[in-house]
Structure 1
Amino acid sequence: MRLVSHPVLCNYYVTYRCNASCGFCDIWEKPSPYITLESFRENLRDLKRLGVKVIDFTGGEPLLHRQLDVLLREAKAQGMITTVTSNGLLYPKQATKLRGLIDMLHFSLDSPDRDEHDTSRRVKCFDKVMESIEIARSLGERPDIIFTVFEDNVGKIRQLRDEICLPNDLVLILNPVFEYNGIGGSLSQEALTEMLWWGKQKNVYLNEAFVQLRLDGGNHVEDPVCKAASTTLVISPENKLVLPCYHLGLKDFAINGNLFELYHSDEVQKLVALEGRLPACEGCAINCYMQPSFAVEMNRYWWKALPSTIKYNRMKGTWKQMMRL
């Protein structure tokens, strides 16, 4: 049973540029402009008309955008829930002007070991994440730590939680790895089982539906769980609407100040109707599109996601915000 029929999330790529070059990501290789304030204002107007409640300002590294604070402030003024994920390199310098503008602030950290994390990111950013945590807490912010779980770092969850998250009262978000520019994932059943156990522990969040989907072999085109195109609008730095999702990216459409009309056009809606049903969608388990997919249709994944969703909102105290969805 479909609970919500309109888009709820916008993945707004403010730039593809990044100041890190992570081995599991290729977005930093792309040449990219930065979004303009003018186009953002036009799109924000239409995002609200379309029913979107959450804007994820993403990239690349979103803090590279020099007007990020302005973008966030305008989104907040329109009643949007804002999210930003950063590698921490630029946050210490920008923390003050970003204060109070990000509802869900995430710092990426893939290991409690400095050298291991920096090797993964191919830039020295571990110490900057630690500094960012300290500064954010001093400003009254409560960031989360996003831990991308690979087969070879699942054994570091305890150390990361105990040494970094618990002392700072931060939530550790377990993010099962997926093939960034492809389909599927590469975690064993043993690793998934260990993640499930950790997801029930103090100060740890894991959307259990992510694990269930992987155990089920991912999305299946004959009965798709993916609702990427109907739940999530992807806007590129070139001000284009990307469909059916960023990772598949079959087609993009120039927005030209008419996002609302464009989304409801026959050409776009034909692609929306194919969400989860295209040949390349078979086996897909990409978290950033499955999370909203689980939230809008009452099925086994909705029920799997519910306990962890309740837990996260209890830990973060975000009930009032989420009720607006």
Structure 2
Amino acid sequence: MRIIHHPVLANYYVTYRCNAKCSFCDIWEKPSPYIKLEDVIQNLKDLRRLGVNVVDFTGGEPLLHRQIDLFLGAAQEMGFITTLTTNGMLYPKWAERLKGKVDMLHFSLDSADKTEHDTGRGVACFDFVLESIQIAKSLGERPDILFTVFKHNLNQIERVYQEICLPNKLMLLLNPAFEYNQVETGEQLSEEELEYLVRFSKQKYVYLNEAFVQLRKDGGNHIDKPVCKAASTTLVISPENELVLPCYHLGAKTFPINGQLYEKYTSQEVKEQIALEGRLPACEGCTINCYMQPSFAVELNRYWWKALPSTLKYNLRKGTWKRMLS
């Protein structure tokens, strides 16, 4: 049963450019422009009209954009919850200007071993993450550690938790890796390994959306009865100022926005694309976390119930529940 009938999240790609070359991501290979401030302001106004609550300024590496602080500030002034994920390399440079403007700030860290983390990211960024943690804390910020989980780094979760998260009182966000397009992420986690993540997530300062685990046990999204509600829950805006449907990873259709995001999203041609969410051949078996999480939030089913405890745990810890209620 659908309980929320409007989009809740915007994935706003400020650029596809990145200063890392992660082995499990292909976005850094794309040529890309940078979004423009005037487009951002207009699009944020339209996102508000559409009912969106959260804006994720993403990339690529979002801190490559020289106006990222202005985007975040404008979004907060309009009442959005803001989120940003960074590899940490540029955060020390940006920290003062970002202070207080990111409600959910995530530093990517996949191992407590410097060599292992830097190898996976394709650049030497481990030390920047540790430096960024200390700078953020000194400014009164409360960042999270976003840990992308593969078979090969399962044994690092405990170390990251004990050596980095607990001493700094940071939330550890466990993000099971997913496959998409032609990007290979290695052998998928077994049911036993998924259960290990669930058990580990019961500890203080650890977040895992258990609906992610349930979906993987169920074989992912199925096109005959789709769990995915990507296009109706999440607006994807590209650096070219286009609306991308049904999601970034599939990107089957793009629509130039031209200052009319609200009109475009509510148009008949876009509604026809939204109707195909989770039903396209490429949607079979999909487990992409960033679209499944908002999908779990809008429909009352077993995934909604599975997601609820971790959602409450995180939002109570971060204090964002107050903004969501308002």
Q: Same fold (TM over 0.5)?
A: yes
Q: Give the match for residue 210 of structure 1.
A: 212
Question: Separation in 2 of the partners of 1:265 and 1:80?
Answer: 24
Q: How does 1:6-45 map to 2 (within 5 A)?
A: 6-45=6-45
1:96 CA displacement: 0.2
The equivalent of 1:262 in structure 2 is 264
Kept in 2: contact 1:148–1:176 (CA 8 A)? yes
Partner residue, 2:118: 118
What pairs with 1:130-209 in structure 2 (closer than 5 Å)?
Answer: 130-181=130-181, 186-209=188-211
| Amino acid aligned to 1:18 | C
Deviates more, 1:161-170 or 1:177-186: 177-186
Is the 8 Å Cα contact of residues 25 and 183 (structure 2) preserved in structure 1? no
Matches of 2:177 and 2:117, distance apart in 1: 15
Please state how far the C-alpha of 1:184 moved relative to its aligned partner.
Answer: 10
Partner Cα distance (2:92, 2:171) in 1? 20
The aligned residue for residue 303 of structure 2 is: 301
1:1-60 superposed Cα distances (whole Å, 9 cap, x missing partner): 111101110000000000000000000000000000111111111111111110000000
Determine the structure 2 residue equivalent to 1:67: 67
Q: In the TM superposition, what is the alpha-carbon distance from 1:183 to its structure 2 partner?
A: 9.2
Structure 1 position 265, deviation (Å) = 0.9
Instruction: Give CA-to-partner distance per residue, 1:141-194, whole Å, 9 cap, x none.
Output: 000000000011111111110000000000000000001436997221121111
Partner of 1:232: 234
Q: Which of 275, 278, 291 does residue 276 from structure 1 map onto?
A: 278
Give 1:321's aligned residue.
Answer: 323
Residue 251 of structure 1 is matched in structure 2 by 253
Q: How far is the alpha carbon of 1:237 from its aligned partner?
A: 0.2
Aligned-residue offset at 1:322? 2.6
Secondary structure of the 1:234 match is: strand
Show structure 1 runs of 4+ deviating over 4 A.
Answer: 182-185
CA–CA separation in structure 1 for the residues paired with 2:37 and 2:27: 22
3-state SS of 1:153 partner: helix
Percent sequence identity over matched residues? 70
- On the 8 A contact 2:17/2:31 being kept in 1, the answer is yes
SS in 1 for 2:251: coil
- What SS does structure 2 have at the residue aligned with 1:152? helix
Q: How many residue pairs end up in the alignment?
A: 324
Taking only aligned residues, the RMSD between alpha carbons, in angstroms, comes to 1.2
- Unaligned runs of at least 5 residues, structure 1: none
CA contact (8 A) 2:172 2:205 kept: yes
Q: Is there any run of 5+ residues in structure 2 with no aligned partner, and where?
A: none
Do 1:183 and 1:285's aligned partners in 2 also have CA atoms closer than 8 Å?
A: no
- Residue of structure 1 equivalent to 2:87: 87
Question: 1:183 touches 1:284 (CA, 8 Å); kept in 2?
Answer: no
- Separation of aligned partners in 1, 2:180 and 2:174: 16
2:24 counterpart SS class = coil
User: What is the TM-score with the length of structure 1 in the denominator?
Assistant: 0.98
TM-score (norm 2): 0.97
By how many angstroms is 1:317 displaced?
A: 2.6
